[in-house]
Amino acid sequence: MPGRNFLFIPGPTNVPQRVRNAFALEQEDMRAVDFPKFTLPLFEDLKTIFQTRTGRVFIFPSSGTGGWEAAVSNTLSPGDKVLMSHFGHFSWLWVDLCQRHNLDVQALEVDWGEGVPVDKYAEILKADRKKEIKAVFVCQNETATGVTSDVAAVRKALDMANHPALLFVDGVSSVASIDFRMDEWGVDLCVSGSQKGFMLPTGLGIVCVSQKALEARKGAKLPRTYFSFDDMMTANDNGFFPYTPNTLFLRALRESVNMLLEEGLENVFARHKRMATAVRKAVAAWGLKLVAKSEKWYSDTVSAIYTPDGIDGNEVARHAYKFYDLALSVSLGKIAGKAFRIGHLGDLNELMILTPIAGAEMAMKDKGVKVELGSGVAAAQEYLRSTAKQVRGN
């Protein structure tokens, strides 16, 4: 087919030209004497993205799942009690990882369409008078359902209970897209990945670690080699890595971070919220519902949209790909076939976000959804044009 495929899944996301250009380099010596002049400022600027002054950032050649494993294996021991919740495919996978690491997992099952049950967390933490829970886990953004949870509220629950547990956050589809504040929210370990808000291909697990978590590693007894914080720290202190890094990815990450800092984090977050709102305006115009049950759960990086009874949402996504070169995301787990997803994060602007809305309308119409062509596009257009001056000026 002529033209291009349009990618609107919640990761990997579109890679901007500036970042693609940064990959177009010769290989380099990762032990060259001047390599630290490049790496040390990159480590520092990544701290800005996580909004931390005191934390430390590690860059692993892995996916976000590798970042999960690094965070867990460096700070916990077999049999440690941890508090988690699952309300979608990816929050459940984190539970599964912790169970496979022989942690004593208390996993609260939450209705899909809601997020972290802060009130239940607060009750459990308050009742844990012996402070046996070693870690509390929060999936800030569940991409399977388009749900965002309140990390700051979980920190408040920990503080109210005067509880010393480490606070883990899955920020894979939120960091560099949705507001995340490492220091202000008292987060101890945050896991992200290169393929979402950082606008790179999959390949880097990026983990931000508090000083408290770095202290915890000294007593942690889970095995780790490839993901060892100690090995990373020894090498990173001098600007190097304990094994051969993917230098092209690091150069591209440098350009991605430049772009984020040039735009300004507040502007990045506002842009994502505006693009997400445009999608939500379209969904309302279609007469459909989001999987997220209420506004407080709405994600600014991905919208999961229920299809009418009798219409397979995954077939809508497959049809859009086959006939219109549009990559929408299928639904997973408990809602498989009941919805499809539109990813709206990373390198994105007004005309780009109209593409998946228009394509989804055509695919839904083809598959039997009673949707008026142009209705969602018009609703999104009206919202975007009415707010354009607020962000673009006169």
pLDDT, tens digit, 9 for 90 and up, residues 69-89: 999 999 999 999 999 999 999
Structural domain count, the chain: 2
Could you give the CA distance from residue 300 to residue 273 in angstroms, rounded to a whole number? 5
Amino acid 1: pLDDT: 66
Asked if the structure places residue 254 within a domain, the reply is yes
Q: Do residues 182 and 301 both lie within one domain? A: no
Could you give the CA distance from residue 192 to residue 170 in angstroms, rounded to a whole number? 7
Q: Do residues 93 and 202 both lie within one domain? A: yes
Where is the domain boundary, 246, 262, 278? Answer: 262
Asked if the structure places residue 147 within a domain, the reply is yes
Phi and psi of 158, rounded to 5°?
-65, -45
Q: Do residues 290 and 319 both lie within one domain? A: yes
Asked if the structure places residue 1 within a domain, the reply is no
Asked if the structure places residue 364 within a domain, the reply is yes
Q: Do residues 174 and 273 both lie within one domain? A: no
Q: Do residues 289 and 243 both lie within one domain? A: no
Asked if the structure places residue 352 within a domain, the reply is yes
Amino acid 389: pLDDT: 79
Cβ atoms of 342 and 292 closer than 8 Å: no
Could you give the CA distance from residue 165 to residue 323 in angstroms, rounded to a whole number? 50
H helices present in 184-309, as ranges: 211-216, 229-236, 247-263, 265-286
The pLDDT averaged over each successive group of 10 residues in the chain (394 residues) is 91 97 96 98 98 98 96 98 97 98 98 98 98 98 98 98 98 98 98 98 97 98 97 98 96 98 98 98 98 98 98 98 98 97 98 98 98 98 93 72
Q: Do residues 184 and 289 both lie within one domain? A: no
Give the CATH number of the domain where residue 327 resides.
3.90.1150.10
Asked if the structure places residue 160 within a domain, the reply is yes
Asked if the structure places residue 230 within a domain, the reply is yes
Q: Do residues 253 and 280 both lie within one domain? A: no
Amino acid 215: pLDDT: 98
Q: Convert 100-136 to b/e letters by CB count within 10 Å (16 or more is b).
A: ebebebebeebebbbbbbbeebbebbeebeeeebbbb
Q: Note down the domain range covering 294.
A: 6-12+265-392
Helix or strand (DSSP H, E) at 329: strand 329-330
CA atoms within 13 A on the CB side of 268: 25
Cβ atoms of 204 and 223 closer than 8 Å: no
Q: Do residues 56 and 187 both lie within one domain? A: yes
Amino acid 391: pLDDT: 77
- Its pTM surpasses 0.95: yes
Q: Do residues 381 and 291 both lie within one domain? A: yes
Give the CATH number of the domain where residue 39 resides.
3.40.640.10
The residues near 97 (Cβ < 8 Å, ≥ 6 apart) are 65, 68, 69, 72
Could you give the CA distance from residue 181 to residue 174 in angstroms, rounded to a whole number? 11
Q: Do residues 212 and 302 both lie within one domain? A: no
Asked if the structure places residue 271 within a domain, the reply is yes
Where is the domain boundary, 230, 246, 262? Answer: 262
Q: Do residues 304 and 335 both lie within one domain? A: yes
**Taking Cα atoms as reference points, which of 113, 169, 123 lies closest to residue 144?**
113
pLDDT, tens digit, 9 for 90 and up, residues 273-319: 999 999 999 999 999 999 999 999 999 999 999 999 999 999 999 99
Amino acid 390: pLDDT: 81
Where is the domain boundary, 262, 283, 314? Answer: 262
Q: Do residues 118 and 194 both lie within one domain? A: yes
